[in-house]
Amino acid sequence: MNLEGRKIIVNKSSKELSELLKTPENYKGFMPDGLQKFETREDGFKFGLQGMPEIALKIDEVDDQKAVLKSASSSLDFSLTATLNPISENQTEVQMLFEGKFNPFIKMMVEKPLQNFINTLTDKIEAYK
């Protein structure tokens, strides 16, 4: 299952964004309303949203062109990638991409909440100052 967020322009360089996305604590500011739990770990974070199970993510790879988060649970196989495409010295195009391997029943249950989550992350990153 693949999901895409809309492309946005952020008024930061790709280097500034990659530095921001290397630090687990910084992701708390991008979480949707309804955040009930947020715990940082050395290589990632765990969060819980109202009405959803807790999700643990590890920061797998971050450079000036992308930030890749992967599931920290062996029972769920997915990744969430923020592509960072420099437009100018102080502007970067960002797009969230979700890729997951789910059976059809799970896919049916999670597709809409995941798309909403990606849309909210996109909105929060776009509004980030």
- How far is residue 25's CA from residue 83's CA, in Å, rounded to a whole number? 20
Q: Encode pLDDT of 42-96 as tens digits.
A: 999 999 988 778 899 999 999 999 999 999 988 889 999 999 999 999 999 999 9
Predicted TM-score of the model (pTM): 0.92
- Backbone region of residue 51 per phi and psi (left: phi > 0; alpha: psi in -120 to 50; beta: other values): left
According to the model, what pLDDT value does residue 53 have?
Answer: 82
According to the model, what pLDDT value does residue 35 have?
Answer: 92
Q: Encode pLDDT of 13-45 as tens digits.
A: 999 999 999 999 999 999 998 899 999 999 999
- The pair of structure tokens assigned to 95 is 């797009």
Residue among 101, 117, 124 at smallest CA distance from 48: 117
The reply to whether CATH 3.40.640.10 applies to domain 2-127 is: no
- What mean pLDDT comes out for the span 85-110? 94
Q: Which residues contact 121 (CB under 8 A, 6 or more apart)?
A: 5, 30, 32, 96
